[in-house]
Structure 1
Amino acid sequence: MTLPVPTLTPAFDVEVALGPLEDHLGTSAGHRRVVPILGGRVSGEVDAEVLPGGADWQLVRPDGTIEIDSRYSARTASGDLLLLHARGLRTGPHEVLARLGRGEDVDPTLYSFRTTVTVETSAPALAHLQRSLFLASAQRLASAVHYRAYRVG
């Protein structure tokens, strides 16, 4: 049996503005950090404003790899709401991760920052987004994250 090879088709870009990192240090789950999402923009197959109030709940592994778990809402110009959920990993050489930790802008080809993205919505016109899995390639900037989401086909 031959299984289909997944394809990637560009779907949308997301830029989120980030608030100051909240370092919860060692919790029962591990080294927990929370990064507030202050706003931003979704553009492409769907255009929407990222609403303040979301966050990225991170776990920092002993090797410096960060487990990403971010959730935030966005609203289209017509008032439709979306809930985006991105889960993945940011990892790379220790010195590159240290630069990112200091808030430096680092060439995204020097580290790996990948997430899966799912979308929830009650808007019939956007329901197709809920029937797709998206894989994103991301870049961490000093006070923002930018990613491009690709539909997995």
Structure 2
Amino acid sequence: MTAPPVPGLEFAFQVEARLGPPEDHGVTRAGHRRVVPIVGGSMTGLVEARVLPGGADWQLIRPDGAIEIDTRYSAQTAAGAHIYIRTFGVRSGPPEVLEALLRGDPVDPAEYYFRLGVQLETADAGLAELERSLFVASAIREANTVRYNAYRVT
């Protein structure tokens, strides 16, 4: 019997998303909800685009302190093509590290775990390959930005 191919990773693009001040919605029926506006940024690599303001990260802070990431935002290429970006994932680490990140303190990315799944959607035929691939990313949280490198799963 033939075994399925072993997946690999190839670098695809980097996103730098600038963030607005977090909105703490308190504890809802789903858990502790926080919404972090996305106010701009850039996408470089396989596709060059600017991140448009208006998206957000709808975070859920779990009882164990880990943060469930759920972002939706848009980017636009210089030619005017729109790319809808959705990420989902988790940021976790020791409580004091997560608190330092929330305050905007510089933290070594090796001290916490921040991984994402990335889905892209576009109507631009020249970028259609982005919709036919699966991407995973490793991310860094800074005071007013999130940066991640996305890799195409081969």
Global fold match (TM > 0.5): yes
Instruction: For 1:67 and 1:132, locate their aligned partners in 2 and report how far apart those are by CA, in whole Å.
Output: 23
| Counterpart in the other structure of 2:120 | 119
Q: Residue type of the partner of 1:10?
A: F
| Counterpart in the other structure of 1:77 | 78
| Counterpart in the other structure of 2:98 | 97
| Counterpart in the other structure of 1:55 | 56
Instruction: For 1:108 and 1:28, locate their aligned partners in 2 and report how far apart those are by CA, in whole Å.
Output: 31
Q: Secondary structure, in 3 states, of the residue corresponding to 2:57?
A: strand
Q: What is the CA distance between 1:84 and its match in structure 2? A: 0.4
> How many pairs were matched up?
153
Instruction: For 2:75 and 2:42, locate their aligned partners in 1 and report how far apart those are by CA, in whole Å.
Output: 8
Residues 3-62 of structure 1: per-residue CA shift (max 9 Å, x gap): 222101000000010000000011111100000000000000000000000000000001
Instruction: For 2:29 and 2:52, locate their aligned partners in 1 and report how far apart those are by CA, in whole Å.
Output: 30
| Counterpart in the other structure of 2:36 | 35
| TM-score normalised by structure 1 residue count | 0.98
Instruction: For 1:99 and 1:5, locate their aligned partners in 2 and report how far apart those are by CA, in whole Å.
Output: 38
Q: Residue type of the partner of 1:123?
A: D
| Counterpart in the other structure of 1:136 | 137
| TM-score normalised by structure 2 residue count | 0.97
**CA-atom RMSD in angstroms:** 0.8
Q: Residue type of the partner of 2:84?
A: L
Residues 67-88 of structure 1: per-residue CA shift (max 9 Å, x gap): 0000100000000000000000
Instruction: For 1:69 and 1:105, locate their aligned partners in 2 and report how far apart those are by CA, in whole Å.
Output: 23
| Counterpart in the other structure of 1:4 | 5
Instruction: For 2:5 and 2:106, locate their aligned partners in 1 and report how far apart those are by CA, in whole Å.
Output: 38
